[in-house]
Amino acid sequence: MTTTTLAVLVPLLPFLGAVAGLLLGRTVPGLVRPLAVLPALTSLGLAAVVAVRQGGDAAVDAATQLTPTGSVPIDLALHIDGFAALVAVLVGVVASCVQIYSTAYLRDDPRYPSYAALVSLFTSAMLLVVYSGDLMVLLVGWEIMGICSYFLVGHYWETPEARAASLKAFLVTKLGDVPFLIGLFALAVDAGSFRITEILATVAQGGLDHPTLIALLLLAGVAGKSAQFPLHTWLPDAMAGPTPVSALIHAATMVAAGVYFVARLLPVFAASAAALVVLAVMAAVTMAGSALAALAQDDIKRVLAYSTIGQLGYMTGALAVGDRGAAVFHLLSHGAFKALLFLAAGVIIHAAGTNSLAAMSRMKDLRDRVPDAYWTMTVALLALAAIPPFSGFFSKEAVLGAAEHTATGHADSAPAAAGWIVLVAGLVAALLTAAYATRLWLLAFRGRGAEAPDHGRQPVAMTAVLWVLAVPSLAFGVTVGVLPDWFDGHKLAPTLTTSVLGTGVALVGALVTYGAWRHTTALAARVPIGAVAAHPDADGGQVEAEAIATHAPAYGNVASAPDPADPGRLLLGPLHRHAAVGFHLDALYAALFVRPVQAGARLVRFLDREVVDTYVRGAGTAPRWLGAAVRRAQTGNVQTYLSALLAGTVVLAVAAVLVATAGA
Amino acid sequence: MNLPIAADAPQGFLSPTGIEIAFVLVGLVTLGAAVITVTTRQLVHAALWLVVALGGLAVEYLLLTAEFIAWVQVLIYVGSVVVLLLFGLMLTRAPIGRSPDADSGNRPVALAVALAAAGALVWVVVDAFRTQWIELDKPQGTTDVTGSILFRHWVLPFEALSVLLLAALVGAIVLSRKSKDEPDANGRQNRNGPKTPAAQKAPKDQKAPKAPNDQTGQTDQTDQTEGTR
Amino acid sequence: MHLAYPAVLAVLLFCVGLYGVLARRNAILVLMSVELMLNAVNLNLVAFDVWLRDTLHSGQALTLFTIAIAAAEIGIGLAIVLAVYRNRGTSAVDDLRDTAERPDDGGDGDGVGPEGAAAEEPDEPAPGASQKAEATA
């Protein structure tokens, strides 16, 4: 088969799996798991073959016109360069892992068939985004991901948190998608095509008329999808979905789509220095703010969610300094270790019966209950904190190196200001990242207090996946020499300055956190805290759903817990209160948008009920009165009727006579 | 019109002939009896005044030289219809003497409608026919003439009419026959009407008087017509 | 003789009968008024027949037919009045109000209706309805 055929099959197989799963899920339950896992695995294999065949050479392009539109044509196009090939492999890996993991994690869930089908559809949509060479087709995948995330985040729709979170995810991403769509049209009008290759060719000739406007419009969609400030607020709340969904959304699919999109169209953004600066500021604010917020979260998954936002900030930072190789490198390594982190967190939540770090810090020997999760998560946290020689170190150093390169004026594609912004924010974020990674590890695995509950061994499907993902988290860095061949050719190897700086601040962050923890951990015994799910023997999904549902009643807040033993509380000081709630951004949005909209809705309701309906009721009242009046004539007395009839006859007769005589 | 005699013999209303004077006098009596019929509070008196009115009309027919119609009028209306009405009044236990509620609440409306209709019709009729003259030189409705036209030109409608009368006869019998649930009707009448003797009398009187009366009406007429033939 | 005399007399008789039909309570009196109206028509028929000198004498023939039909009508009419009287216990026309609108009709009863109904039949409607149903069945 040709590479094109294989590439077409890659997104098609999960799609067919999703359709079959939806159709057969109820009637043939035995087929659900094979239909979920096999298409993902096959797609992974095919994506790997496509990647090998493409091999970093010239991009594979194939197109067939989908429909003549009269103006800008829409093509069914493939555009597979090195970025696309590798990102598709990552998507395949994470999707396969998530599907395998889910078979055990949602073992007893009655809605597993639809869940698995939606995950397949999600995967298919992401692969479509990755491979598509036409922006309209890309948009199709982009929007399918939006609606799938709505369904998957709301998987536990019985809980109000999940319902609110799914709606929020949908609305916030859609808020970004509107300008995104307008931006796409503007881009297509300027370039005369939706094809990526032709757009890039146009940009190379300087043919864009409004680069800044287009770039900013597109950035809005990217910020919504990739959870960048100020549209990031949906992501922490999306933790109300099952853990595998979080892994899928955070590691490889939805949030990666935004970064990937910018990476693909980077020349468009690079055409506008203002857009790059905006991107840099966005990335800097996102990095620093999310890292601070992560340090204050109590829910283990929310820590990881804010960490995702921060790491995505690194990627957009890399894009802001014009190095998409570094961005996609970080995307790949982050995809691996973040998927690992989430899946391991799922195991931990299942084992501990709670998602609260405060509760975990009061459990002894949790690490012995889940040795696989303990070791793999340690690896992933080291990668997250960018400690050499783990994969995160290399990719993050690539980003910082690119920023330093730009800041010192060696790159002509991006303004130096963007470089400085990204570099400083990146170093601050590196410090904070190491701090919250250390905090997470200490609180989860170094707890003291009562014995952790024993639920026996975790299912193999869950633990094996962890080890599979641990390999790239550990060793992806060795590819640093090969990857530039696939990408633009920029050198990705770490430079000495940034390596020393980055690793240094990371170590400082870790050590400071450790010191704080040593200081505060003594307090833990004094304040008993912790709520544990009631169903120790249930599958992971149910335990997690209960843990999320009980967090707010137990601790007063979905995000934080009043735990004095938390080192983050000591480190952040007065800032902790604000960081725990995401710096009041939700409250701000509520005041700025939600309340005016609700007030407007109330006004409309009032107008409808009281003003419009008054006319309607009035229109109904007049005929009713008329009817009552006419009904009074229905006396049942024949003589009355006859009198009226004859009176009418007389009148008519007189009228007829008058008319006749007048005419004569 | 097709009769030049009628058209060109306009006599003044102020110089009436004898027949006219008689007609108007009898007409006044007839009208007065009719008015009393519809206004009196004594129901039986109303029936009797109806006799006067119908009899007056018979006299008017005679004055119009339609003698056969006049006799039929006397025989059928005065002889049978009024008797039938009196039986009806009796069977429905109409009060003897003055009844205060003989008129319904519709009376003002009825008066207005009747006056309006009378005004309109009188106006139209007088306007249309004030110059027309009826020549009464030759009797138009002798029994001989009536019998011959009835059985020469109108025999088919006449036979159809006999079928109608038969149907009416059967219908009247069916309608007035006692239904099978007699005790129920009796019980209800007993409860509603305080006069118990009437309840006993009612079943007895149901059928007997009416059907013969109806029949006599028919036989009278057929006898007469056969006689004329 | 002027044609106007019989014509006007017929008109007046007709209107007197009209008044009777509309104003009388007792159904039999209504029937009497109907007879008056029929006779007014008969008078017209005869007068115009005589005036026109019709060779077929259609006016007089129709008068005879009308008289016969009136006789049949009075027979049927009386039978109906008797049946109604047996079922309802009344022969007052304005008490027969089954076709009236129910919800609003209870109170207004316009004018003579309530007192007449109260005098003759205090609890008329309910048994009347049931009786009527049985009679029609």
Query: Per residue in A563-615, pLDDT tens?
Result: 777 777 777 777 777 777 778 888 888 888 889 999 999 999 999 988 888 88
Amino acid at A134: D
Closest approach of chain A CAs to the CA of C66, in angstroms? 22
**What pLDDT, on a 0 to 100 scale, did the predictor assign at position A532?**
62
What is d(CA A10, CA A47) in angstroms, rounded to the nearest whole number? 6
pLDDT-based confidence at residue A215 (cuts at 50, 70, 90): confident
How high is the pLDDT of residue A577?
Answer: 78
pLDDT (tens digit per residue) in A165-208: 888 888 888 888 899 999 988 888 888 888 888 888 888 887 77
Helix spans in A297-323 (H): 300-320
Query: Distance of alpha carbon A130 from its chain centroid, rounded?
Result: 16
Q: Which two tokens stand for residue A336?
A: 């691996």
User: Which amino acid is present at C120?
Assistant: E
Q: Which of residues 34-73 of C touch B (CB under 8 A)?
A: 35-36, 39, 42-43, 46-47, 49-53, 56-58, 60-61, 63-65, 67-73
pLDDT over threshold 50, residue A285: yes
Residue B10 pLDDT: 58
Domain boundary among B104, B137, B170: B137
C-alpha A575/C-alpha A573 separation (Å) is: 5
What is the distance between the alpha carbons of residues A506 and A116, in angstroms, rounded to a whole number?
38
Mean pLDDT computed over A18-38: 84
Mean pLDDT, chain A, rounded, equals 83
**Are residue B133 and residue B178 in the same domain, yes or no?**
no
Of A25, A212, A226, A30, give the one whose Cα is nearest residue A126. Answer: A226
Using the Cβ of C18 and the Cβ atoms of chain B, whether some distance falls under 8 Å is answered with yes
Q: Measuring CA to CA, which residue among A561, A551, A573 is closest to residue A524?
A: A561
Same structural domain, B194 and B146: yes
B43 and B85 assigned to the same domain? yes
The token duo for A282 is 């966005």
- Spatial separation of the C-alpha atoms in residues A211 and A222, rounded to whole Å: 16
Interface check for B44 against chain C (CB to CB < 8 A): the answer is no
Structure tokens at C10: 């017929």
B33, B53: one domain: yes
CB A568 within 8 A of CB A296: yes
| Residues 6 or more apart whose Cβ sits within 8 Å of residue A562 | A529, A555, A556
| Residues in A touching B118 (Cβ below 8 Å) | none
Contacts of C89 in chain B (CB under 8 A): 188-189, 192-193
Count, residues in chain B: 229
- Beta-carbon pairs below 8 A across chains A and C: 40
Q: Is A364 helix (H, G, I), strand (E, B) or coil?
A: strand
Amino acid in the structure at residue A352: A
- Least confident span in A293-297, A633-637, C70-74: A633-637
From the CA of B125, how many Å to the nearest CA of chain A? 11
User: Which residues, in sequence order, are CB contacts of A509 under 8 Å at separation 6+?
Assistant: A385, A430, A431, A432, A433, A434, A435, A438
Whether residue A637 lies within 8 A of chain B, CB to CB, comes out as: yes
Q: Is the Cβ pair A636, C97 closer than 8 Å?
A: yes
Helix A196-204 crosses helix A160-191 at what angle (to 10 degrees)? 50
Residues of B with Cβ-Cβ distance to C52 under 8 angstroms: 1-3
Q: Given a contact as 3+ CB pairs under 8 Å, which chains touch C?
A: A, B
Q: Give the separation between CA B161 and CA A568, rounded to whole angstroms.
A: 115
Domain boundary among B85, B119, B137: B137
Query: pLDDT-based confidence at B119, cuts 50/70/90?
Result: very high
Instruction: Residue B104: list chain A partners with CB under 8 A.
Output: 637, 639
Residue range B205-216, pLDDT digits in tens: 444 444 444 444
Q: Is C126 exposed, middle or buried (0-12, 13-18, 19+ CB in 10 A)?
A: exposed
Task: Name the residue among A382, A351, A350 with its Cα closest to residue A366.
Answer: A351
- Given a cut of 90, whether residue A558 has pLDDT beyond it is no
A637–B104 C-beta distance less than 8 A: yes
CB A244 within 8 A of CB A95: no
Whether C101 and A637 lie within 8 Å, measured CB to CB: no
CB contact under 8 A, C71 and B165: yes
**Is B14 an interface residue toward C (CB < 8 Å)?**
no
- Asked if the Cβ–Cβ distance from C96 to A636 is below 8 Å, we say yes
Confidence of residue B196 (pLDDT cuts 50, 70, 90): very low
User: What burial class does residue A64 get, using C-beta atoms within 10 Å of its C-beta: 0-12 exposed, 13-18 middle, 19+ buried?
Assistant: exposed
**For residue A79, which phi and psi values (nearest 5 degrees)?**
-140, 100
Give pLDDT tens digits for A483-542. Answer: 777 777 777 777 788 888 888 888 888 888 888 888 877 776 666 666 565 555 666 677
**Can you give the pLDDT at residue C107?**
44
- Identity of the residue numbered C47: A
Q: Which of C18, C98, C113 sits opposite A646 (nearest CB)?
A: C18
Helix axes C27-52 and B18-39, enclosed angle (nearest 10)? 160
Query: What stretch of H or E contains A76?
Result: strand A74-80
On whether the CB atoms of residues A289 and A583 are closer than 8 A, the answer is: yes
- Whole-number pLDDT of residue B211: 41
Instruction: Give me A81's structure tokens.
Output: 């360069």
In chain C, which among 68-127 make CB contacts under 8 A with chain B? 68-76, 78-83, 85-87, 89, 91-94, 110-113, 115-116, 119, 121, 123-124, 127
Q: pTM of the entire structure?
A: 0.65
Cα dihedral sign for A277, A281, A286, A292? positive
Residues of C with CB under 8 A from a CB of A: 18, 21-23, 93-94, 96-101, 104-105, 108, 110, 113
State the nearest Cα–Cα gap between A643 and chain C, in angstroms: 6
Q: How sure is the predictor about C110, in pLDDT bands with cuts at 50, 70 and 90?
A: very low
pLDDT over threshold 70, residue C50: yes
pLDDT at A632: 78
A366 has a pLDDT exceeding 80: no
Q: Name every chain C residue with its beta carbon within 8 A of the beta carbon of B69.
A: 42, 46, 60, 63-64, 67
Position C137 scores a pLDDT of 38
Inter-residue contact A17 to A115 (CB < 8 Å): no
Q: Which CATH number do you get for residue C78?
A: 1.10.287.3510
Peptide bond into B212 cis (omega under 30): no
DSSP string, A569-582: HHHHTTHHHHHHTT
pLDDT at C103 over 70: no
Question: Could you tell me if B87 and B151 lie in one domain?
Answer: no
Q: Within the 415-434 window of chain A, which residues sit less than 8 Å (CB to CB) from chain B?
A: none
Q: Look up the CATH number of the domain holding residue B51.
A: 1.20.120.1200
**Interface contact A647-B113, CB threshold 8 A:** yes
Distance to chain A for B92, nearest Cα, Å: 20
Highest mean pLDDT among A212-216, A230-234, C19-23: C19-23
Return the closest-CA partner of residue C99 out of A638, A644, A627: A638
Interface test with A, best of B103, B122, B124 (most A CBs within 10 A): B124
Closest CA to A472 of A310, A335, A318: A335
* pLDDT score for B182: 52
For residue B111, which residues of chain C lie inside 8 Å, CB to CB?
Answer: 19, 23
In whole angstroms, give the CA distance from residue A517 to residue B149.
135
Report whether pLDDT(A72) > 80: no
Neighbours of chain A (3+ CB pairs under 8 A): B, C
Mutation choice for A interface testing from B109, B121, B125 by most A CBs within 10 A: B109
Residues B18 and B107 in one domain: yes
Burial of B190 per CB tally in 10 Å (0-12, 13-18, 19+): middle
Q: Which amino acid is at A273?
A: A
Residue of C103, C95, C94 lying closest to C124 (CA atoms): C95
Domain total for chain B?
2
Q: Could you give the ipTM of this predicted complex? A: 0.72
Hey, are the CB atoms on C113 and A638 less than 8 Å from each other?
Answer: no
Domain that holds residue B152: 142-229
Closest to A486 (Cα-Cα) out of A1, A87, A4: A87
In B, which residues are within 8 Å of A654 by CB distance?
Answer: 120
Calpha distance A274→A376 (Å, rounded): 42
**Band of pLDDT at residue C12, cut at 50, 70 and 90:** very high
HSE toward the beta carbon, residue B108, CA cutoff 13 A: 3
Residue range A446-474, pLDDT digits in tens = 877 777 666 667 778 788 888 888 888 88
Please tell me the total count of domains within chain C. Answer: 1
Q: What is the pLDDT of residue C16?
A: 94
Residues of chain C contacting B217 with CB distance shorter than 8 Å:
68, 71, 75
How far is A206 from A204, CA to CA, in rounded Å?
5
- pLDDT at position B218 over 60: no
Q: How far apart are CA B163 and CA B156, in angstroms?
A: 11
Among A628, A639, A642, the residue with its CB nearest the CB of C104 is: A628
Q: What is the pLDDT of residue B93?
A: 82
Chain A: closest CA distance from residue B23 (Å):
28
Grouping H, G, I as helix, E, B as strand and the rest as coil, residue A134 is: strand
Q: What percent of chain C has pLDDT over 70?
A: 73
Q: Does the structure show a pLDDT above 50 at A234? A: yes
Residues of C in contact with A632 (CB under 8 A): 101, 104, 108
Q: Determine the 3-state secondary structure of A362 from DSSP.
A: coil
The answer to whether A459 touches A448, Cβ cutoff 8 Å, is: no
- Whole-number Å distance between alpha carbons of A587 and A560: 16
Is A629 part of the contact surface with chain C (CB cutoff 8 Å)? no
Tell me the count of A-B CB pairs closer than 8 A.
25
Average confidence score pLDDT of chain B: 76
| Domain enclosing residue C87, as ranges | 4-136
Q: Indicate whether B69 and B150 sit together in one domain.
A: no
**Inter-chain CB proximity C100 and A646 less than 8 Å:** no
User: Nearest CA to CA, how far is C114 from chain B (Å)?
Assistant: 10
- pLDDT above 90 covers what percent of chain C? 40
C-chain residues within 8 Å CB-CB of A635?
97, 100, 105, 110, 113
CA R_g for chain B: 23
- Least confident piece of the model among A315-324, A364-373, B83-92, C36-45: A364-373
Distance CA C41, CA A475 (A): 121
Residue B115 and residue B174 in one domain:
no
Domain final residue pick, B114, B137, B160: B137
Tell me the percentage of chain A whose pLDDT exceeds 90: 4
| Domain residue ranges of chain A, discontinuous segments joined by + | 273-444+488-572, 621-664
pLDDT, position B197: 42
Give Cα separations from A62 to A4, A87, A438 (angstroms): 7, 19, 47
Q: What are the tokens at A74?
A: 């829409």
Residues C13 and B28: their CA atoms lie apart, in Å, by 10
Residues in chain A: 664
